[in-house]
Amino acid sequence: MPAGYERLIAALDIGTTKVCCLIARMDRERDIHVLGMGHRVSRGIRSGAIVNMEDVENSIRAAVDQAEKIADETITEVYVNLSAGSPLSRIVELEVAIDGHEVRQADINRVLKEAGAQITVDEREIIHAFPACYAIDGVFGVKYPIGMFGEKLAVAVHTITARPGPLRNLLTSVRKSHLHPVRAVISPYAAGMATLVEDELELGAACVDMGGGTTSVSVFAQKALVYQSIIPQGGHDITEDIARELATPTNQAERLKTLFGNAFATAEQDREQINVPPMGEGELDVDHYNSVPRSHLAGIIQPRLEEILLQVRDRLGESGFDRVSGRCIVLTGGASQLPGLRDLAQTILGKQVRIGRPRGVSGLADAAMSPAFAATVGLLHYAAKAPAEMGESQSREEPVWPENKMARIGRWFSLNF
């Protein structure tokens, strides 16, 4: 990048419980400085999917307007997260003969072209498609094969697809808010980029982002995303469990979860009573509040957390990447802040667990440096630092979005062959 280069980038995180917009500047070293942040309660989203487009558009406009006022900038383009559409990961491996000569760009183009020809989407949309790693003579883990010698060159291309309906609803809502979606980024990809440290990205680690309506799982190895999955359950499901069990309004259930919630009950909690406003009585009518042991609240929360964590364990096991992720799990997202969850996760997942917070940006308010904003910050990391994908220009200067399910890969081939 030229000296003095700066580029304005914006992230739009559309979640089940919140809509957040971050506006930042990226300098020539690709360092990110946040200029403004907008944060609004989300309306019209259920388990990551849009159920009321008008409500979503209003939430987007409010969050973006707040961020623009704080940043004193006007944005027209955003990187947006995708949590709906049942995203699926698939690794396509292909090997070509290079007959012992030095690997050239033409060899890489050829193996990528042949791998791309094997990508099938079955009426789904391609969200991401990129070379996860290369191999020379069966030895995977090669990052830059140009200049190396061998008999065979192989590539593993990671493709992520999603159902078209939820994706189009998301993009339409963004466009109706007078913004251009430069690119949709799978939420687990963004969360991992924001919270994993360099050694975890290189050696292998999994990131579990527990949001309001979904829990996403991503596995990174050798600095590449090699697996992702999204579970349609999150912190809001816990809130609804509390509201149903204690017959209290949803907003009060959220308050009880935040102030008194715990991942498991203890003997000390048996002795502590909490007041629960009953549904329909009015929040200020304290004479009619019910009183329950705090351990009872934990008893409502724990089964749902166990259900989610067991699904995380199963997804990792079924993926074949459980060993790749090593012994490290990074837990992030708003729901990850429940006391005791880290210990419960270590027990169920059988791995070392730490709580991940956004990293690698400056200018972000202290209140936003919490796990709840990991995916939002990760969108900025993606815009600034993620490798270009098949179908994108290397610089990411020009916004790219597929017109149909094969457009990006087709455009990449047309530019290179």
Q: How confident is the model at residue 237 (pLDDT cuts 50, 70, 90)?
A: very high
Q: How confident is the model at residue 417 (pLDDT cuts 50, 70, 90)?
A: very low
Mean pLDDT, rounded, of the chain: 86
Please check whether residues 312 and 224 belong to one and the same domain: yes
Q: pLDDT tens for residues 105-152?
A: 888 888 888 877 777 777 888 888 888 888 888 887 787 788 888 888
The reported pLDDT for the residue numbered 413 is 37
Mean pLDDT over 241-255 rounds to 93
- Residue 53 belongs to some domain of the structure: yes
Please check whether residues 238 and 127 belong to one and the same domain: no
Query: Looking at the predicted structure, is the pLDDT value of residue 283 above 70?
Result: no
Q: How confident is the model at residue 327 (pLDDT cuts 50, 70, 90)?
A: confident
The reported pLDDT for the residue numbered 395 is 42
The reported pLDDT for the residue numbered 135 is 87
Mean pLDDT over 176-187 rounds to 94
- Residue 396 belongs to some domain of the structure: no
- Residue 393 belongs to some domain of the structure: no
Please check whether residues 351 and 273 belong to one and the same domain: yes
Please check whether residues 325 and 253 belong to one and the same domain: yes
Low-confidence winner among 322-331, 338-347, 350-359 (lowest mean pLDDT): 322-331
Count CA atoms within 13 Å of residue 94 on its CB side: 18
Highest mean pLDDT among 119-133, 138-152, 159-173, 312-326: 159-173
- pTM for this predicted structure: 0.86
Query: Looking at the predicted structure, is the pLDDT value of residue 409 above 50?
Result: no
Domain count, the chain: 3
3-state SS record for the chain: CCCCCEEEEEEEEECCCEEEEEEEEEECCCCEEEEEEEEEECCCEECCEECCHHHHHHHHHHHHHHHHHHHCCCCCEEEEEECCCCCEEEEEEEEEECCCCECCHHHHHHHHHHHHHCCCCCCCEEEEEEEEEEEECCEEEECCCCCCECCEEEEEEEEEEECHHHHHHHHHHHHHCCCEEEEEEEHHHHHHHHHCCHHHHHHCEEEEEECCCCEEEEEEECCEEEEEEEECCCHHHHHHHHHHHHCCCHHHHHHHHHHHCCCCCCHHHHCCEEEECCCCCCCCCHHHCEEEEHHHHHHHHHHHHHHHHHHHHHHHHHHCCCCCCCCEEEEECHHHHCCCHHHHHHHHHCCEEEECCCCCEECCCHHHCCHHHHHHHHHHHHHHHCCCCCCCCCCCCCCCCCCCCCHHHHHHHHHHC
Please check whether residues 226 and 305 belong to one and the same domain: yes
Q: How confident is the model at residue 320 (pLDDT cuts 50, 70, 90)?
A: confident
Mean pLDDT over 185-195 rounds to 94
Q: How confident is the model at residue 5 (pLDDT cuts 50, 70, 90)?
A: low
- Domain holding 333, by residue range, is 198-358
Specify the CATH number for the domain of residue 276.
3.30.420.40
Please check whether residues 249 and 276 belong to one and the same domain: yes
- Residue 317 belongs to some domain of the structure: yes
Q: How confident is the model at residue 285 (pLDDT cuts 50, 70, 90)?
A: low
Please check whether residues 284 and 305 belong to one and the same domain: yes
The reported pLDDT for the residue numbered 196 is 95
Specify the CATH number for the domain of residue 137.
3.30.1490.110
- Residue 391 belongs to some domain of the structure: no
Q: pLDDT tens for residues 48-88?
A: 889 999 999 999 999 999 999 999 999 999 999 999 988 98
Please check whether residues 216 and 351 belong to one and the same domain: yes
- Residue 3 belongs to some domain of the structure: yes
Please check whether residues 221 and 270 belong to one and the same domain: yes
- Residue 368 belongs to some domain of the structure: no
Please check whether residues 290 and 208 belong to one and the same domain: yes
The reported pLDDT for the residue numbered 403 is 38
Please check whether residues 205 and 188 belong to one and the same domain: no
Higher pLDDT, 122 or 355: 355
The reported pLDDT for the residue numbered 1 is 44
Q: How confident is the model at residue 284 (pLDDT cuts 50, 70, 90)?
A: low
Please check whether residues 132 and 188 belong to one and the same domain: no
The reported pLDDT for the residue numbered 144 is 78
